[in-house]
């Protein structure tokens, strides 16, 4: 049996089509993985857009005046905000401070300012627990902050 140039061309074409089929399957697998990652990312961004993220710290507002600022850093609305002082209760014993809670809602980048009483015998650090509801599942955060 004699091998002709057309036989060589046919085998080369068959090999090239097999290689092309293999590359196509690899490309399809990569496309499926990338699509799954994109869907996961979009889902995460959708959840993050509905989630509130509360934080708090002491802010000096005058020569010896301080406030405790609770603010929403998230992209979603935080609702039914509950505030519990775990340590440093003497700082928050100012008329009406605890009557504000549960606070109805905080929009993104909105804040609540609470008056605090700082004097020589007051604690220098406070630990508070913030709990809230949002469109996803709510949240809870324990924050410890120094007055100065």
pLDDT in tens, 109-127: 899 888 888 888 888 888 8
Q: Which residues are registered as beta bridge partners of 146?
A: 125
Give residue-wise pLDDT tens across range 12-21.
Answer: 898 999 999 9
Question: Residue 67: which of 115, 25, 112, 104 has the closest Cα?
Answer: 115
CA distances from 77 to 107, 140, 142 (A): 5, 14, 19
Question: Are 130 and 81 within 8 A, CB to CB?
Answer: yes
Q: What percent of the chain has pLDDT over 90?
A: 12
User: 0.85 exceeded by the pTM?
Assistant: no
Question: Residue 111: which of 127, 84, 126, 130 has the closest Cα?
Answer: 130
């Amino acid at each position: 049996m004699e091998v002709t140039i057309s036989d060589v061309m046919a085998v080369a074409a068959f090999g090239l089509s097999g290689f092309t089929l293999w590359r196509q399957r690899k490309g399809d697998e990569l496309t499926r993985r990338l699509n799954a990652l994109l869907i996961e990312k979009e889902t995460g961004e959708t959840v993050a857009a509905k989630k509130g993220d509360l934080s708090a710290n002491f802010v000096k507002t005058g020569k010896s005046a301080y406030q405790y600022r609770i603010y929403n850093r998230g992209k979603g609305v935080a609702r039914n905000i509950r505030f519990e002082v775990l340590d440093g209760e003497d700082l928050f014993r100012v008329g009406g401070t605890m009557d504000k809670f549960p606070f109805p809602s905080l929009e993104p980048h909105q804040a609540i300012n609470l008056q605090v009483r700082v004097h020589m015998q007051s604690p220098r650090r406070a630990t508070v627990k913030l709990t809230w509801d949002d469109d996803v599942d709510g949240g809870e955060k324990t924050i410890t902050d120094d007055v100065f």
